């Protein structure tokens, strides 16, 4: 919602910044209650927590960018969208795909790589926005979703392995 307010009503940037700051802080508080450090051995969980952290951090830094000219507010939106939203989507579709196909909720090393590529894309976009071409960013981001397709496509078009319906 905050991003929509910013994009469609640029005169409300200050208000959207305050909303982003409140939302980002509230999300970080929620994340800390989940005890994310205890999930580091479970890729399907730490990837979700990392993405949620990037989403929250992007909202907070967006507010800072409105007042500190060194930061670029649009670049910080990319942190939220690329690292946060895309990462949450990849983590969730990976977990849901395993569960709904009757498989154990474990991931391969290749999917762990996929989970790492999206935060890398976000960091590259934020830190090197003016120095690097977007090719590196796109390569990281696309690699994450291509790895998902390579490892999940077959299980998504074949019957469940436990023979249950659904």
Write down how long the chain is: 166
Q: What is the pLDDT of residue 136?
A: 82
How many Å apart are CA 22 and CA 62, to the nearest integer? 11
> What confidence category does residue 9 fall into, taking pLDDT thresholds of 50, 70 and 90?
low
> What confidence category does residue 1 fall into, taking pLDDT thresholds of 50, 70 and 90?
low
140 with 114: CB under 8 angstroms?
no
- Average pLDDT value for residue range 47-69: 88
Q: Is 117 helix (H, G, I), strand (E, B) or coil?
A: helix
Given a cut of 90, whether residue 132 has pLDDT beyond it is no
Q: Which of 24, 33, 155 lies closest to 93 in space, CA to CA?
A: 155
Q: Give Dmax (Cα) for the chain.
A: 58
């Amino acid at each position: 919602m905050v991003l929509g307010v910013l994009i469609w009503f640029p005169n409300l940037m200050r208000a959207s910044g305050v909303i982003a700051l409140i939302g980002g802080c509230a999300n970080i508080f929620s994340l800390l209650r989940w005890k994310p450090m205890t999930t580091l051995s479970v890729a399907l969980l730490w990837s979700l927590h990392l993405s949620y952290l990037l989403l929250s951090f992007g909202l907070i830094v967006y507010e800072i960018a409105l007042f500190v000219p060194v930061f670029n507010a649009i670049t910080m939106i990319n942190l939220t969208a690329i690292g946060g939203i895309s990462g949450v989507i990849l983590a969730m579709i990976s977990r849901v795909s395993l569960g709904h196909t009757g498989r154990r909720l474990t991931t391969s090393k290749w999917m762990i790589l996929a989970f790492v590529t999206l935060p890398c894309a976000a960091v590259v976009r934020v830190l090197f926005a003016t120095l690097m071409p977007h090719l590196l960013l796109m390569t990281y981001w696309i690699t994450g979703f291509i790895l998902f397709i390579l490892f999940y496509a077959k299980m998504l078009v074949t019957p469940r392995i436990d023979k249950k319906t659904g």
